[in-house]
Amino acid sequence: MTTVSKTLSFIFSQKGKPLLMMNNFLSKLNKTTNTKKYYRCENPQCTMTLRTDINDVLIRTKDHHNHPPEPEQIEVRKLKHVIKERAKNETTPKPKIYDEETARFCLTSLAIAIVPSQREISTRILYIR
């Protein structure tokens, strides 16, 4: 029997909504009741669902993911979120924030390949400031 890590953490979507991260897979909040939260895999074709209590303690998972994990996508999302937060809270020029954060993040070579360019990020930051 294999032991699977059930470490839950959260990152944010482009729209600022929390995404549950477990074992390099992302799940979005589907429904909330008084006692439970229901999550679905972010991939629309995947049938994986999971349930937590209101304090985000894992209760149950259903099915398995039908796609491989994408840890590089998660790294890039974290980077984008940090850049957006800094742009929102600081007056530092956008190119400087981008350069500092991409240097600080220690991205894998696959993640570097999918990181948006400084120009693409700058246009998104315009709407934040």
Shared domain for 75 and 124, answered yes or no, is yes
- Alpha-carbon span 71 to 102, nearest angstrom: 16
> In which element (H, E) is residue 9 found?
strand 8-12
* C-beta separation of 70 from 78 below 8 A: no
Asked, for residue 2, whether it belongs to a domain, the answer is no
Expressed as residue numbers, the domain containing 111 is: 71-128
Shared domain for 100 and 120, answered yes or no, is yes
Torsional class of 26: left (φ above 0), alpha (ψ -120 to 50), beta (otherwise): beta
The conformation of residue 116, written as its DSSP 8-state character, comes to P
Shared domain for 53 and 77, answered yes or no, is no
Looking up tokens 């390949």, which residue turns up?
113
Shared domain for 107 and 84, answered yes or no, is yes
Asked, for residue 88, whether it belongs to a domain, the answer is yes
Shared domain for 44 and 85, answered yes or no, is no
Shared domain for 83 and 106, answered yes or no, is yes
pTM given for the model:
0.77
Average pLDDT, the chain: 88
Three-class SS state of 39? strand
Shared domain for 52 and 85, answered yes or no, is no
Asked, for residue 3, whether it belongs to a domain, the answer is no
Over residues 27-50, the pLDDT tens digits come to 999 999 999 999 999 999 999 999
Shared domain for 75 and 105, answered yes or no, is yes
Over residues 82-108, the pLDDT tens digits come to 999 999 999 999 899 999 999 999 888
Asked, for residue 50, whether it belongs to a domain, the answer is yes
Provide the token pair at 12.
């944010």
Domains: count for the chain: 2
